[in-house]
Every structure is written in C-alpha cells, then in structure tokens.
Structure 1
Amino acid sequence: MMTKFFCVTLLSSFIMVQLIVTSSAVPVQIEEAQAVISTGVNELPADSKLDLAARHKVLLEFEKHFAQFSCEAIKVILVDLKAAPEHIVAHDDKITALKNALDKIKKINLINEPLDPLEVRAATNIIGELISQTNINLVSAVKEHGQLAFELQRFNFFLGEAFDDLIATLTPEERELDAGLVSLHKQYNESDNDEKWQFWIKLWNYFE
C-alpha cells in the first residue's frame, strides 16, 4: 500500500508539473510518466515505511498545483464573465472579486522554484475566500473549456487517489492522531467535483 501511495503521488506530481509548465494544457506524455513511475518503484524498498510527517509532506506537495490550477481557472472564468452578452449586476460583483483575487495572487510566487510554503498557503486562502464570497464552482465554471475542465477533474482524481492511499496507510494509533484528517476524508468521499475543489482548501488548512 505504501508503494502504491508513493507511485500515485509521483505520477501526480509529474503530471501537474508538466501541465503547469506548458500552461496551455498540452496532453501529458503518458509513456514518460510511466517511465518515471517505474524508476520510483524500482528505487523504493519493498519494506519501506514513510513516517506520518513524511506522508503529510507528500500530500502537501499538491497544494502548489492546486493554487496554480485555480489561478488558471480564475483567469478563464473572468474572461467568460466579461464576454457575457447580458449585463448582470451579479456578474459585475464576481468580476470585481475575481480581479481583486488575481491582483493579490500575482504578487505571490507560484512558478519559480523554490516556492515559499507560506506564500502558497496565502494563495490558497485567497482562493478559498473567493470561492466562499462569490459562490463560484471552478470546475463547472470552466466546463466549456474542455481541456482545462478535464485537467481540473484529473487533478481531483489524482489527489483523491493519494488522499485515499494515505488514509489507508494509517495505523490505529495514527488514525487517532489524525482523527481530523480521517474526518475530512469522509467528507471528501461524500463530495462532488466542485465540492472537492472547495474541500481541498480545508485539507491544506488542516496542516497549518
């Protein structure tokens, strides 16, 4: 199970990096991803056991990709709202909120490595406030933009797989220590794609 957790996370990180670097949602080369996985599996001892903090850290690696993907979605939604033929006051409010959020996030380093965890968390919280204030479902709001919508859903899937695997590795003692995380996992299983995108914000803040 630990090997599976490592492999899923390795694949996910590789895919997310490729998507963000290209920024044009170019399809990932699956063969390359599989090669990376094979290398990771071969180098991982069969009896290896990451401690709890290390497993948390692996899951936290997804946060920067969450922030980056959210920013791309916000930009797309903003363009769509501005191009809408009908004038709706509610749209004006959302446009203002989206522009303000992007202005704040632009000041945060989300591209150049190494990323500052505190800056990434700041971006996450800005996104969380935006979703809460404007009631925007990022995944559904970009459904007309096929590739981006697909990548958002795929991110949900891979992070969900990694989250499932982490919970599965918990010992009874660790489940007590991470009772809040186990509770969040139950909420995750009961959520849809849009709810998951808002749910991840709760997950990142769990680790504060």
Structure 2
Amino acid sequence: MTKILGINFLLAFVVIQLIANSSAIPVQTEEEINIGDNGHPDSSRLDLNARHKVLLEFEKPFAQFSREAIKVILADLQAEPEQSVTNNNKITALKNALNKIENINLINEPLDAHEVRFVTNTIGELISQANIKLVSAVEKQKKLAFELQRFNFFFGEAFDDFITTLTAQERELDAGLVNLHQQYNESDKDEKWQIWIKLWNYFEL
C-alpha cells in the first residue's frame, strides 16, 4: 500500500501544479485571446473541461483510501468484546459495502471509470445510511489517518486553485462546484470526505 500512496501523492502534487500554473495565466475573454503566428489561439491555459479532468484524477485515490478505511473500521468493530445494536448495524453495512467493491480494480491501468464511480457511490451510500465517519473512525491507525488527512489537504489545495481559475462566466457554469467549495471550507474533516463524494457525482459519467 505504501508504494500506491506514494504514487498517488506524486500525482496529487503534479495535479496541483497543473491547476496552479493554469491560474497564473491571465484570464482572457474570447475576444481577447491572443492569436499566435500560426493563426491558432493561445493554448497555454487549460480550458474548463481540462481543469475538470484534473480534479477527477483524485477520484481513484479517494476510492482507494476509502476502501482501506472500510477494512480498518470493520476489523476494529469486529474486535470489540461486546457488540451494540448500533455497532452490529455498522458491521453489516460495512460488510455489504466491502463485498460490492473489494474486487474492483483501483490500481492497475487502464481503470474502468464506471467501476471507480460505482465504488464512490457505494461509499456514499455507506456514509449516509450507516453514519460511518471514515476519517475520524481510523484515528488509532496512525498511518492511514495521516494519509486520509493528507489527501484532504492536497485535494483541498487543488480545489482552492481550481476555484481561483474560474472566470465570471465559468463561475456561473460551475455554480454547483462553487457551492461545494464553500461547503468544503465550512466543514470538518469527516464532512469534507462526504463533499468529495458530492463532487464526483457532480461530474456524472
């Protein structure tokens, strides 16, 4: 898992740099776009769809981390000497979710985008229906807890940078993303994890 995490956060760093570099280029209206000597528009700035794709690069590590968290939470609950009705319900929900997603490829390329989205949606259902807090529930697992928090940090940085690149027109087109970004800034660490699920579903396949 360590190798996977290293690759994911190398990707995260590159992604953030892509968005940041995009935002560093002055925003221009369609009429103001410079035409080069070859007669083509200046393509140095990523268009909106390309910037969307940059954010979507984070969905795979999100799904990977969530699946690892589900396994840890399930093991911890099962290890408790006495089971409450609430915990038994959580155990059942965690087992059902894991049975759906544990054999889906989230590592080797090429990935099936629909399968990755299926994992994301399954995690969303688990969180909403069983009141599972994926981030705080693994705090005793120091390494995983650190990686989850670091993911929130990296993706939060990328999300911030994305929002800064938006023109007034793009803010209208992506009003849903702007709203999610505001929710993100007002949320605690567990709520942030749920906002990422909302963001993935904003980009319907």
Same fold (TM over 0.5): yes
Moved segments of 4+, more than 4 Å: 44-47
Deviation at 1:140, TM superposition (A): 0.4
Match of 2:117 in 1: 121
Instruction: Write the letter of the residue equivalent to 2:139.
Output: K
CA RMSD for the aligned pairs? Answer: 2.3
Instruction: Write the letter of the residue equivalent to 2:50.
Output: A
Tell me which of 136, 141, 153 is aligned to 2:149: 153
Query: Deviation string for 1:38-96 (max 9, x for gaps)?
Result: xx78xx79852000000000000000110000000000000000001222121111111
Q: What TM-score, normalized to structure 1? A: 0.79
Alignment of 1:34-183 (within 5 A): 48-183=44-179
How far, CA to CA, are the matches of 1:54 and 1:180 in structure 2?
17
Aligned pair count reads: 178
How far, CA to CA, are the matches of 2:166 and 2:83 in structure 1?
52
Deviation at 1:22, TM superposition (A): 2.9
Deviation at 1:21, TM superposition (A): 5.7
Moved more, 54-63 or 98-107: 98-107
Instruction: Write the letter of the residue equivalent to 2:180.
Output: L
Mark the structure with the bigger radius of gyration. 2
Task: Tell me which protein shows more helix as a share of its residues.
Answer: 1
Q: Tell me, which stretches of 5 or more residues in structure 1 are unaligned? A: 1-19
Percent identical residues: 70
How far, CA to CA, are the matches of 1:105 and 1:112 in structure 2?
15
How far, CA to CA, are the matches of 2:198 and 2:114 in structure 1?
16
Instruction: Write the letter of the residue equivalent to 2:100.
Output: K
Secondary structure of 2:135's aligned partner: helix
